[in-house]
Structure 1
Amino acid sequence: MIELKKTSKTYKVNGKAVEAVKDVSLTINKGEVFGVIGYSGAGKSTLIRCINLLEKPTSGEVIIDGKNLSKLSKQELQKTRRKIGMIFQGYNLLKTATVYDNIAIPLKLEGVNKKLIQKRVEKYLSIVGLLDKQNHYPSQLSGGQKQRVAIARALAHEPEILLSDEATSALDPETTEAILSLLLKINKELGLTIFLITHELNVVQRICDRIAVMENGYVVEQGTVVSLFTNPKHPTTKRFVESENTFTIPSEIMASYRSTGKLVSLHFVGKELSEEPALALVSRKFNVLPSILAGGIEQLKNHTLGKLLVHLRGEKEEYEQAITYLTNQGVIVEEVN
């Protein structure tokens, strides 16, 4: 559906070359929700704007449905862009236009007839839950409602791809969750491919199938959400995951536990949360006493991820056998240093 091949973008700033995106190669499948996460300045915004050629890559290829966008004529590019909707952090709504007109005006400019415009506006306002607000102005709406209007406007062109540029970063947690649920609904019911960028880990963990991590213009790691959450490789990925999931335990307490056994972090993915209680069986099979110090459950798009911080009290030989047993049961075990 979307393929980036060694895509790079360089700007000239005060006579100096600034490389915003460096040699990025990604493949996004049809119907997939793909997220790119990175800290400020990582190159995310430039990358997403390269997909619809709002920013023309300095080198490399951007391929949509088998078409290299940089080789299309102006007319062909315009036609392809109609398949690509985009929503932004700042909503970009016309302040003096009603909700209805904010969606209708771009369709009028495309030459869509009046009856079809009305049908589409009402259809997509209904999908985002704002049909009763069609005669309101943006100033009368909350931030979450404004973003819903922006989503309806993007959907009204009936695209195959939806690009989301930090669409939830200006919203409070409750509204963010509502918008993410809406994007999941759109992905499922309309079959849209969604490509989003964010600096918020909860966004990618909630709705993405796969994610890529950017740092200094490069994609430094990519994979499924589960794999990156449970086994991050690159230091930047680890910083994101640890900032979200690290348990805060006083150092003096941690020291006392380390002297009497082993501290481990356990990840349970999906069915392992509810099937055979592997941790409970450890004390029966080995001369080890497990103590749960902290824990939590995260809901990913297609999986439930449980995490526990556990102290295994016992001799080295016993707790090492216990760790091997847990690993063989499908539990992801990481020693805490």
Structure 2
Amino acid sequence: MIELKNVRKSFFSNKQEITAVDGVNMTINAGEIHGVIGYSGAGKSTLIRCVNLLETPTEGEVLINGKNLLKLSSSELREVRSKVGMIFQHFNLLKTVTVYENIAIPLKLSGVPKSELKERVEKYLKIVGLEDRASNYPSQLSGGQKQRVAIARALSLEPTILLSDEATSALDPETTESILDLLLKINRELGITILLITHEMNVIQKICDHVYVMENGSVVEQGSTIDLFTSPQHSTTQKFLNTISQRQLSDSLVESLNVTGAVTRLTFVGAATGKPALAEVSKKFSVTPNILTANIIELKNGIVGNIVVHLEGDKNAILDALKYLEQSGIRIEQLGGRQA
């Protein structure tokens, strides 16, 4: 388990104090994947580096399995850190040695016996799917393969926690997908707890159980991934969601569609996504649904569907139809619209 309690990190620049992380609290249970998302400068990189004390917090507590890292001796801290692996955006591989040696180096530094060292390197090369690349040099690998080597290196010391600092942001979408699949596999098969930071909502969508949204050093919203995707409260969260689904129609688009009256967003969660809800209301009530935009988002632990719709018909019939939809487990949100 990872616990952050009122963690604050400040720096001084030109004699001015800059607060990069401001009073952050987190609890990450063993075996879960938590994600921190925010725009550039939000403080997320500083935050993740506070977890293994690459950055020492100015205030607060950092606990791993109940141990406050800020109160440990140097030897005790090294022992805890040995169980916390980390992967980075730019791989940090040594260019002059092979893939095998890149993975073996931390094992050698930790005093792992030669007989066990070879077994471990081969084990984690197999897990990341690079058994046939052991003798290659980093210059002979693609970006995705380099990141897989970095992941194997982080796993070689057999950590219980893996920290990911923008590990997919330098990769193309297809390669990003394959790396996320690999992280899911590592989490499920090895039981490793993962904390990652990203500025990409599709990363959160695919693998996270819980998400924190950061802005100006603070967590402005947090919750289970499915809750934030279905009911985002903060404007920053809503902006991120707009990058993967058009949740909010612009006034110009509403005008171009010649829509008058109320526009409503319907959010379907889980089993509700399979219901022919709009077909039912058109039969039960004197309304005609006009679908303006729709999408289905597959999350790690569920499915969320969004439909932005304009219901045409008598005002009372529309109210009855919306009430029926709400009683069917569908979330209703009025978006406004152009008046007739």
Work out the CA distance in 2 between the residues paired with 1:253 and 1:217.
Answer: 35
* Contiguous gaps of at least 5 residues in structure 1: none
1:202 aligned counterpart, secondary structure: helix
Distance apart, 1:293 and its partner CA: 2.4
1:292 aligned counterpart, secondary structure: strand
Whether 1:246 and 2:250 are equivalent positions in the alignment is no
For the 8 Å contact 2:7–2:57, the answer to whether it is kept is yes
For the 8 Å contact 1:165–1:196, the answer to whether it is kept is yes
Work out the CA distance in 2 between the residues paired with 1:160 and 1:130.
Answer: 22
| TM-score normalised to structure 1 length | 0.96
Whether 1:296 and 2:295 are equivalent positions in the alignment is yes
AA in 2 matched with 1:297: I
Work out the CA distance in 1 between the residues paired with 2:318 and 2:155.
Answer: 55
Moved more, 326-335 or 42-51: 326-335
Work out the CA distance in 1 between the residues paired with 2:332 and 2:65.
Answer: 41
Distance apart, 1:244 and its partner CA: 2.6
* Residue pairs, 1:73-88, within 5 angstroms: 73-88=73-88
Moved more, 127-136 or 299-308: 299-308
CA offset digits 1:240-268 (Å, max 9, x no partner):
11233226867566236542x43212221
Work out the CA distance in 2 between the residues paired with 1:250 and 1:74.
Answer: 56
| TM-score normalised to structure 2 length | 0.95
Work out the CA distance in 1 between the residues paired with 2:223 and 2:253.
Answer: 35
The verdict on how the C-alpha distance between 1:324 and 1:120 changes in structure 2, with shifts beyond 3 A counting, is same
AA in 1 matched with 2:215: E
AA in 2 matched with 1:319: I
Moved more, 223-232 or 60-69: 223-232
* Residue pairs, 1:139-150, within 5 angstroms: 139-150=139-150
Indicate the residue corresponding to 1:70 in structure 2. Answer: 70
Distance apart, 1:81 and its partner CA: 0.2
Work out the CA distance in 2 between the residues paired with 1:107 and 1:250.
Answer: 55
* Residue pairs, 1:184-223, within 5 angstroms: 184-223=184-223
Work out the CA distance in 2 between the residues paired with 1:315 and 1:234.
Answer: 34
For the 8 Å contact 1:262–1:319, the answer to whether it is kept is no
Whether 1:181 and 2:173 are equivalent positions in the alignment is no
For the 8 Å contact 1:7–1:57, the answer to whether it is kept is yes
1:245 aligned counterpart, secondary structure: coil
Indicate the residue corresponding to 1:324 in structure 2. Answer: 323
* Residue pairs, 1:49-128, within 5 angstroms: 49-128=49-128
For the 8 Å contact 1:144–1:171, the answer to whether it is kept is yes
The verdict on how the C-alpha distance between 1:126 and 1:15 changes in structure 2, with shifts beyond 3 A counting, is same
The verdict on how the C-alpha distance between 1:150 and 1:252 changes in structure 2, with shifts beyond 3 A counting, is closer
Work out the CA distance in 1 between the residues paired with 2:31 and 2:248.
Answer: 38
Work out the CA distance in 1 between the residues paired with 2:173 and 2:39.
Answer: 19
1:6 aligned counterpart, secondary structure: strand
* Residue pairs, 1:33-48, within 5 angstroms: 33-48=33-48
For the 8 Å contact 1:94–1:102, the answer to whether it is kept is yes
1:204 aligned counterpart, secondary structure: helix
Indicate the residue corresponding to 2:32 in structure 1. Answer: 32
AA in 2 matched with 1:217: G
Work out the CA distance in 1 between the residues paired with 2:254 and 2:19.
Answer: 43
Distance apart, 1:13 and its partner CA: 1.2
Distance apart, 1:149 and its partner CA: 0.4
AA in 2 matched with 1:309: V
Whether 1:277 and 2:266 are equivalent positions in the alignment is no
AA in 2 matched with 1:87: I
CA offset digits 1:188-217 (Å, max 9, x no partner):
000010000001111001100000000000
Work out the CA distance in 2 between the residues paired with 1:268 and 1:325.
Answer: 14
AA in 2 matched with 1:299: E
1:244 aligned counterpart, secondary structure: coil
Indicate the residue corresponding to 2:19 in structure 1. Answer: 19
Work out the CA distance in 2 between the residues paired with 1:170 and 1:140.
Answer: 17
Work out the CA distance in 2 between the residues paired with 1:327 and 1:156.
Answer: 51
For the 8 Å contact 1:257–1:263, the answer to whether it is kept is no
Work out the CA distance in 1 between the residues paired with 2:91 and 2:137.
Answer: 13
CA offset digits 1:164-183 (Å, max 9, x no partner):
00000000000000000110
AA in 2 matched with 1:209: D
AA in 2 matched with 1:16: Q
The verdict on how the C-alpha distance between 1:232 and 1:267 changes in structure 2, with shifts beyond 3 A counting, is same
Percent of counterpart pairs with the same letter? 59
For the 8 Å contact 2:226–2:301, the answer to whether it is kept is no
AA in 1 matched with 2:175: T
Distance apart, 1:291 and its partner CA: 2.2
